[in-house]
Chain A
Amino acid sequence: MTTRVGVVLFPGSNCEQDMLEAVALVGGEPEVLWHGDATVNGVDAVVVPGGFAHGDYLRPGAIARFSPVMGAVAEFAAAGGPVVGICNGFQVLTEAGLLPGALQKNRGLKFLCATVPVRVESTESALTRRAEEGAVLRIPVNHFEGNYTCDEATLAQLRDEDRVVLRYVENPNGSIDDIAGICNEGRNVVGLMPHPERASSELLGSADGLPLLRSLVA
Chain B
Amino acid sequence: MIFSVHVEVRLREGIADPQGSTIERALPTLGFDGVSGVRVGKSIRFTIDAADEAAARAEAEDMCRRFLTNPVIEDAVVELEAGAGAAS
User: CB within 8 Å of B: which residues of A?
Assistant: 58-59, 62, 94-95, 101-102, 104-107, 109, 147, 149-151, 174
Contacts and interface: CB of A to CB of B under 8 A. Distances in A.
Contact of A109 (B15, B18, B70, B74): B18
A94 B17 CA distance: 20
A102 B72 contact: yes
A217 B15 CA distance: 37
B70 A150 contact: no
Interface residues of B, number: 13
Contact of B21 (A62, A95, A101, A109): A109
Contacts of A151: 72
B73 A106 contact: no
Nearest to B17: A105
A107 B15 CA distance: 9
Given A105-B16, A106-B16, A109-B21, A62 B72 contact: no
Contact of A149 (B22, B67, B73): B73
Given A105-B17, A149-B15, A59 B22 contact: no
B16 A102 contact: no
Nearest to A147: B16
Contacts of B70: 59, 62, 95, 102
Contacts of A101: 72
A104 B73 contact: yes
A96 to B, nearest CB: 12
Contacts of A105: 16-18
